[in-house]
Amino acid sequence: MRAVVLYGTAGSLVLTALVAAPAGGDDRWPAVRAAVRPAAETRGTVLAAQRAEDEGIRFGRCPGHQELPAGLRCGTVTVPLDYARPDGRRIKLTVSRIKATGKGPGGKKVARQGALVYNPGGPGASGMAFPLAGRVPEWKRLAAAYDLVGYAPRGVGRSAPLSCQDPRRFQQAPSKSPTHPSKAYKKERAAQARAYARGCAKRSGSKLRHYHSLNNARDLDVLRAALGEHRLTFLGASYGTYFGALYAAMFPSHVRRMVFDSAVNPSPHQVWYHNNLDQSAAFEGRWADFRAWVARHDRAYGLGNTPKEVLKSYERARARLASRPAGGKVGPAQLHGALLKAAYYDDVWPSRAQALSAYLKGDPKPLVRLAAPQPGAAVPEENAQAVYTAVECNDAPWPTEWRVWDRDNTRLARTAPFETWDNAWMNLPCAFWPVPRQQPLDVRTGPGELPPTLIMAAERDAATPYEGALELHRRLSGSVLVTEREAGTHGIGGGENPCVNGYMEAYLLEGRLPERHAACGPHPEPRPKARGGRSR
């Protein structure tokens, strides 16, 4: 469930994740080889939280960063690598914070309500930049009442970073992305996945098994204690909703308020193989939404006046890039990656359509700017991929027979070809994973066990399909679901929809929720860009 944080023109935090796909796994999955040791790990979490509360966090200058706002401060919190052995090896997680401004609209004094901790998802994404959200209008009211706190989860960035391969070998470009791969190509990708899994074990050693969602939830409780918060106020997006849900089930008495933005389906059966299949199926619908929008604006882009014609333009570009990569770095896989973001966020629709249009008209520069790998990003991207793989592979059993993957993804690709196989290749190292797996927690809370929580979801979100929000709502007693109808942007809190933002602010600032399931209309569609980049 990879998540990426983008800062849109409206100042929204746009969050993306990867988790996906179809029905029909295989009954002969391997037995879970590592049972959760609840008693020892519970004691270890209590001890780690007590230590963190005593030590606190010493916030100071943020290392490795320049020209940041004066109010942004960074520190670390220490957690056990293995909660069953809290006196054993420990690791440090990096934390960032901007204190509550205390100033509401018109300079009105606002009472501080504590810390609002944020996670953008992934697995593998860092929330270290989150406190900067308080600088944009959509977040100022929350920034007045809360210290905005971000952090890098275990394995991410400076937080005991994971690596599975040399970053210099990570960005393979140009590269292929066949919609219906041949047997030879499948064999090649399976060999790569096996080698990648071996690399994770070789480069990370014995610590690899401790990077999973249950420990992410435990780390969150230690962070809560280190911040001096008796109860946690948390905003999780995408994958952040999954381990946030684990936290709610594991530490219900430690919850003050929780927002789940773009919820992952937490059903143990779904985590993670079937979630990834469902995601691939949903991406097909969102890809169709983008093509329909491009077709409606054919006068601006000239890619076709029907979704089918736009698809033909895309396929024509893929074929041309396969024979002659743009800028020597953009092949079919890089084109696909750039357009996959359009299935996450509709605010990038104009830039993607414009780049595709320019390329087909003989100007590859806009596409190269969007899609070519950036050498300076190799290290963080390799790190994010390593954490993503470790967490998802460690979290649950996966099918270990290639024929199961081949059967399910071949079947799905007949109706959802856009993302199915690329999603499969991303997750295939889990078929060859060399360390023990966890048993997914059956997330459930009964009446009165957990304070009321807020779930927000866009109806056509592909990265975390809408059924996940419904399932989480069923499992968390007292939760309320707010739906953005006829919309599909991934990560809707603090975005372009004032209705959604109103519900989130009412909850976080006043503890007020609608009595039942609430709905908001969609935010406005993006406007096409005229030549020169101006919106019409």
Active site residue ranges: 238, 461, 490
Coarse DSSP helix, strand, coil percentages of the chain, rounded to the nearest 5 percent? 45, 15, 40
Listed residue (485, 410, 460) closest to 285, CA to CA: 460
d(CA 35, CA 391): 16
Name 189's Cβ contacts closer than 8 Å, sequence gap at least 6: 181, 425, 428
User: What is the spatial distance between Cα 373 and Cα 104, in angstroms, rounded to a whole number?
Assistant: 42
Distances (CA, A) of 356 to 73, 385, 455: 41, 27, 36
CA neighbours closer than 13 Å in the CB half-sphere of residue 496: 19
Question: Kind of pairing, strands 480-484 and 518-520?
Answer: parallel
Q: Identify whether the C-beta of residue 40 lies closer than 8 Å to the C-beta of residue 54.
A: no
Comparing CA positions, the residue from 345, 329, 338 lying closest to residue 371 is: 338
Burial of 407 (0-12, 13-18, 19+ CB in 10 A): middle
Is residue 439 within 8 A of residue 32, CB to CB? The reply is yes
Burial of 414 (0-12, 13-18, 19+ CB in 10 A): exposed
Count Cβ atoms below 10 Å from residue 450 Cβ, excluding itself: 19
Q: How many helices (H) and strands (E) does the chain have?
A: 17, 11
- The closest alpha carbon to 458, from 449, 450, 468, 448, belongs to 468
